[in-house]
């Protein structure tokens, strides 16, 4: 009998509790919040809605769901008394979602049959793309983006800069030291000591005025990489090349019409498969030679400032430094088969005073 009385009492109290809950009423003055323009790079953005209980019973928010996994709601868990307020905080994550957005959250409570809906909207500006740094070259544990710097066309009065990103992929701190550099180059290493996984840079400033001549200029910057605490040193080099051309910026239309014009017999010299020692094709001086002709089809002298190749396996001879209008010069390009171990691909750089093409390239190829 006592047990039955306890059950009946519990049912009465639960029914009374439900009756009290039915008096709750959920509302909000702000149904939609506009974030305006937000940046993807700034990360998640949040706004807090104020929820009111305009009824006469306690308001209980049982759950809040979002229309997208990119939207995360948080809410007041305690009952909200009549006339009081609670909060629903909505956080939107813009990562990987550039452009306009409109998201809803559904509030389930005892203050409304079904759900009560709020919304957020706005526009996300995309995060700037950060180039992925790749370090395919190395001097010991120092990884480098490149070992070659090319200033393709530099006027005699210009000073140009370039940068090489470097990274320490070793397990000890590295010290980077540079050797002697030419007077027309300024080299700065920042920092000179790199901790493991730290990224630094080597900047190079090329002063064409200090060179005092036109044509192709090449040099090498010696580097020594020391592993601190291990007394381990590794030497390497950065190859630097520049084509210093005439300053054609002040030429008039009439002067350009009277300018020289360099015409090449071809831009590809393919030796094909190189002969082996003792083969049927005779080698003159141990070399295989081809030719490139340069003709001046313009109206004033053509000056060949330089006709060179950075690849030491290629020899260049013959030709002329100055060609009068209508004349042709023949340049010989030679390779030694015994020095070619794999496929050869190299460029010959021709720097001249043709304003319409001061730098010309001839590709040289051969197969072993």
CA nearest to 76, candidates 55, 50, 56: 50
How confident is the model over 157-170, as pLDDT tens digits? Answer: 999 999 999 999 99
pLDDT(281) > 60: no
Q: Are residues 290 and 323 in the same domain?
A: yes
Q: Are residues 264 and 238 in the same domain?
A: no
pLDDT(278) > 80: no
Strands 185-190 and 199-207: antiparallel
Q: Identify whether 190 is part of a domain.
A: yes
Strands 302-309 and 268-273: unpaired
For residues 312 and 337, the answer to whether their CB atoms sit within 8 Å is no
Q: Identify whether 321 is part of a domain.
A: yes
What confidence score (pLDDT) does residue 277 get? 60
Residue range of the domain that includes 324: 257-367
Q: Are residues 262 and 337 in the same domain?
A: yes
Share of the chain above pLDDT 90, in %: 82
What confidence score (pLDDT) does residue 133 get? 80
Q: Are residues 109 and 167 in the same domain?
A: no
Q: Are residues 262 and 362 in the same domain?
A: yes
Q: Which of 215, 244, 273 is the last residue of a domain?
A: 244
Per the model's pLDDT, the better-predicted residue between 132 and 289 turns out to be: 289
Please tell me the total count of domains within the chain: 3
Q: What is the mean pLDDT of residues 143-159?
A: 94
Q: Which of 125, 147, 180 is the last residue of a domain?
A: 125
Q: Are residues 169 and 99 in the same domain?
A: no
Q: Are residues 29 and 121 in the same domain?
A: yes
Q: What is the mean pLDDT of residues 235-262?
A: 94
Cα–Cα separations (whole angstroms), residue 2 to 5, 9, 171: 5, 10, 78
What confidence score (pLDDT) does residue 173 get? 95
Q: Which of 244, 266, 286 is the last residue of a domain?
A: 244
* 249 confidence band (pLDDT: 50, 70, 90): confident
What confidence score (pLDDT) does residue 22 get? 62
Q: Identify whether 5 is part of a domain.
A: no
What confidence score (pLDDT) does residue 128 get? 85
Average pLDDT, the chain: 90
How confident is the model over 167-221, as pLDDT tens digits? Answer: 999 999 999 999 999 999 999 999 999 999 999 999 999 999 999 999 999 999 9
Q: Are residues 119 and 193 in the same domain?
A: no
How confident is the model over 16-40, as pLDDT tens digits? Answer: 444 344 689 999 999 999 999 999 9
Q: Are residues 188 and 269 in the same domain?
A: no
Least-confidence region, from 36-45, 227-236, 323-332, 342-351? 227-236
* 4 confidence band (pLDDT: 50, 70, 90): very low
Can you tell me whether residue 40 is helix, strand or coil?
A: helix
Rounded to an integer, what distance in angstroms lies between the CA atom of residue 227 and that of residue 238?
A: 19
Q: Are residues 238 and 214 in the same domain?
A: yes
For residues 59 and 25, the answer to whether their CB atoms sit within 8 Å is yes
Q: Are residues 226 and 291 in the same domain?
A: no
pTM above 0.85, yes or no: no
Q: Are residues 208 and 280 in the same domain?
A: no
CA nearest to 120, candidates 150, 100, 98, 141: 100
How confident is the model over 331-343, as pLDDT tens digits? Answer: 999 998 989 888 9
CATH number, domain with residue 34:
2.60.40.10
Q: Identify whether 313 is part of a domain.
A: yes
| Gap between the terminal Cα atoms of the chain | 107
Least-confidence region, from 41-50, 127-136, 163-172, 280-289? 280-289
Least-confidence region, from 128-132, 292-296, 319-323? 128-132
């Amino acid at each position: 009998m006592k047990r039955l009385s306890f059950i009946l009492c519990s049912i009465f109290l639960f029914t009374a509790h439900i009756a009290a809950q039915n008096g709750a009423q959920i509302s909000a003055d702000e149904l939609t919040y506009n974030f305006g323009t937000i940046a993807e790079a700034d990360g998640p953005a949040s706004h807090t809605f104020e929820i009111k209980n305009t009824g006469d019973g306690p308001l209980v928010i049982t759950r809040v769901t979002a229309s997208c996994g990119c939207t995360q709601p948080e809410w007041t868990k305690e009952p909200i008394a009549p006339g009081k307020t609670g909060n629903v905080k909505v956080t939107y994550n813009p990562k990987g979602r550039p452009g306009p957005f409109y998201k809803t959250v559904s509030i389930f409570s005892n203050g409304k049959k079904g759900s009560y809906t709020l919304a957020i909207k706005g526009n996300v500006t995309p995060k700037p793309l950060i180039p992925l740094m790749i370090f395919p070259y190395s001097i010991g544990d120092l990884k480098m983006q490149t070992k070659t710097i090319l200033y393709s066309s530099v006027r005699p009065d210009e000073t140009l800069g370039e940068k090489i990103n470097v990274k320490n992929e070793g397990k000890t701190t590295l010290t980077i030291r540079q050797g002697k550099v030419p007077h027309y180059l300024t080299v700065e290493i920042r920092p000179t000591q790199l901790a493991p996984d730290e990224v630094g840079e080597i900047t190079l400033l090329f002063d064409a005025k200090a060179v005092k001549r036109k044509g192709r200029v090449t040099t090498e910057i010696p580097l020594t990489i020391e592993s601190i605490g291990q007394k381990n040193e590794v030497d390497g080099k950065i190859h630097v090349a520049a084509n210093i051309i005439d300053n054609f910026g002040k030429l008039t239309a009439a002067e350009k019409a009277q300018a020289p014009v360099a015409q090449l017999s071809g831009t590809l010299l393919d030796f094909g498969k190189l002969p082996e020692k003792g083969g049927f094709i005779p080698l003159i001086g141990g070399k295989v030679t081809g030719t490139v002709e340069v003709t001046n089809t313009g109206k004033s002298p053509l000056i060949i400032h330089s006709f060179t190749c950075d690849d030491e396996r290629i020899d260049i001879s013959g030709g002329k430094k100055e060609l009068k209008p209508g004349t042709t010069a023949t340049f010989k390009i030679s390779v030694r088969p015994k020095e070619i171990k794999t496929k050869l691909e190299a460029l010959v750089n021709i720097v001249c005073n043709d304003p319409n093409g001061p730098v010309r390239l001839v590709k040289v190829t051969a197969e072993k």
